[in-house]
Amino acid sequence: MSAELNRLRWRCQRGMLELDHILRGFLERGYPGASAEVKSQFERLLALEDADILDLILGRTEPPAGLSAVLVLLRLDREI
């Protein structure tokens, strides 16, 4: 596994187990084939607080500008 994926795997470890599963699932299934833009958005998303990330993924709050593409993919991956 690359150093980049190891670093991201560490950043996907959150305080909420459900969020861990969602983020790590995307990292394993969606991230490797994602565009540079989506990868950048994913890293920006990981900088947010756990509750904010979960609210965004579940559609409880409107996403900030520039996170829409990764949120769509996270929601789709979550449904698999």
Per-residue pLDDT of 11-67, as tens digits, reads 999 999 999 999 999 999 999 999 999 999 999 999 999 999 999 999 999 998 899
**Is pLDDT at 78 greater than 90 in this prediction?**
no
Rounded CA gap, 43 and 57, in Å?
A: 14
Note the pLDDT tens digit of each residue in 21-31: 999 999 999 99
- pTM, whole model, 2 decimals? 0.90
C-beta of residue 53 within 8 angstroms of C-beta of residue 71: no
- At residue 4 the predicted structure's pLDDT band, cuts being 50, 70 and 90, is confident
Which pLDDT belongs to residue 36?
A: 96
Which CATH number, 3.30.70.3400, 3.90.1520.10, 1.10.150.250, 1.20.120.1200, labels domain 3-79?
1.10.150.250
- The angle at the Cα of 32, spanning 60 to 67, to the nearest 5 degrees, equals 30
CA distance 10 to 24: 9
